[in-house]
Structure 1
Amino acid sequence: MKALLEKSLQKAINYREYRQLVERLILTTSTTGEWTQNRVNATRLNYTRMKRMEHLVDITPEKKSIFQEVEDRQYWLLFAESFCDDAAQTLPVLKKLAGLSENIELKILIMNENRDLMKRLGKDQKTILQLLITDEALNVLAQWGPRSRMATQMVNEYQKLHGRVDNEIKKQLQVFYNQDLGKQIIAEIAAIEVQIEGEMALHH
């Protein structure tokens, strides 16, 4: 597992590089992963959503302090694809959270290029967004994803009723994201960090 993580980390890119990658994809009418017109369209739309979220994410002082007090170095490894709606909403939030501490480094992995690691983590090929939090030695401390619990519940309930994920639930999710503006994600990642710091304190 650690060898796979090391290999993936070498291919990982930071947020600015990911933004530049998506810009290039839009200019060349392309996408990460297998090419389809729907994915090309989604890539373009998600870039707009990502830019919008960058200006709207607001973190309370109480939550900020949780991330500012992270003492040990961490990697946040996020699996994403340019066409993934959840990634467009989540990445700007994680970038702002990671930016609160010099000890947190956010790295983005293109899922299609890291399938071996995804399989090792027991994730199926439909799961795209996944966050791994590791220590400096790449020991996995926590996992999160593919979206907040509230958003996941919305998708699961819709699937139970309709037997599929379609454009209607995607629209409903977008309304949720527009109203929530990352608050659920911030709360859940903050809770994870509190737990990690508590466990670290026991071992120090």
Structure 2
Amino acid sequence: MEELIKQSVTRAMSYAEYNLLFKQLVTEGRTTGEPSSEKINYTKLNFSRSKRLDKTIKLSEGQRQCFQEINEKQTWLVITEPWCGDAAQSLPFFNKIAENSEKIELKIVLRDENPELIDAFLTKGSRSIPKLIILDKNYHLIDYWGPRSKAATQVVDAYIQEHGAIDDQLKTDLQVWYNKDKGNAILQEMMFCEMRSETI
């Protein structure tokens, strides 16, 4: 596992490099992985949402202080794809956190190019993304998170229980929820991860 993670970090992109790829895909009308018109459309939509969040996210003083007080270097390795709606809502927050901490380096890999890595971090047997892997300076696992916050997961689980499947209405409902939550659930869970890391 440790060697797999090290190799994945070596191959990973920075957030800036990921956004350049994102922009190129949108400009060329393409996406990553197995292409489909739906994934291409989501890639374009997600790029717009991500850029808006990049411009509007502001951490509170308490949140900034929490992440600035991290003592040892960490790597936050995210497994994702540009067409993933949940990733568009979380990656900008991970980046904002990393920008506010000298100890956090954010790195990104594509799920479909790293099957062994995502298979080591399955969610109920599925390759759900995004998946954030928090590593210490020696690439030992501190914690992991994803594909969405517990609060967002409750929205999804309740809908599936009532309607039996993930569909376009759920995706719309989840987007409305994300807009109202404004990333608070993600930030609270990231702060909890950091408090846990102090005791490991």
Category of TM-score, reference length = shorter chain: over 0.9
What does the per-residue CA deviation read over 1:39-62, in whole Å, with 9 as the maximum and x for residues that have no partner?
000000000000111122221111
**Which aligned pairs between 1:180-195 and structure 2 lie closer than 5 A?**
180-195=181-196
Unaligned runs of 5+ in 2: none
TM-score with structure 1 setting the length:
0.94
* Aligned match of 1:137: 138
Looking at structure 2, the residues matched to 25 and 189 of structure 1 have their Cα atoms a distance apart, in angstroms, of 29
Q: Does 1:166 align with 2:167?
A: yes
CA contact (8 A) 1:8 1:109 kept: yes
**Cα distance, 1:117–1:126 mapped onto 2, change above 3 Å:** closer
Unaligned runs of 5+ in 1: none
How many residues were matched structurally?
Answer: 199
Shift of residue 126 of structure 1?
Answer: 4.0
TM-score with structure 2 setting the length:
0.96
Looking at structure 1, the residues matched to 10 and 73 of structure 2 have their Cα atoms a distance apart, in angstroms, of 17
C-alpha RMSD of matched pairs (Å): 1.1
Letter in 1 for 2:110: I
CA contact (8 A) 2:79 2:130 kept: yes
Looking at structure 1, the residues matched to 136 and 2 of structure 2 have their Cα atoms a distance apart, in angstroms, of 11
CA contact (8 A) 1:56 1:181 kept: no
Moved over 4 A (4+): none
1:77 match: secondary structure? strand
Looking at structure 2, the residues matched to 5 and 22 of structure 1 have their Cα atoms a distance apart, in angstroms, of 23
CA contact (8 A) 2:80 2:109 kept: yes
* Aligned match of 1:18: 18
CA contact (8 A) 1:53 1:181 kept: no
Q: What's the % identity of the aligned pairs?
A: 38
CA contact (8 A) 2:122 2:128 kept: no
2:108 match: secondary structure? strand
Letter in 2 for 1:19: N
Looking at structure 1, the residues matched to 50 and 121 of structure 2 have their Cα atoms a distance apart, in angstroms, of 27
What does the per-residue CA deviation read over 1:144-196, in whole Å, with 9 as the maximum and x for residues that have no partner?
11111111000011111111111101101111111111111011100110111
* Aligned match of 2:44: 44
Looking at structure 1, the residues matched to 150 and 121 of structure 2 have their Cα atoms a distance apart, in angstroms, of 19
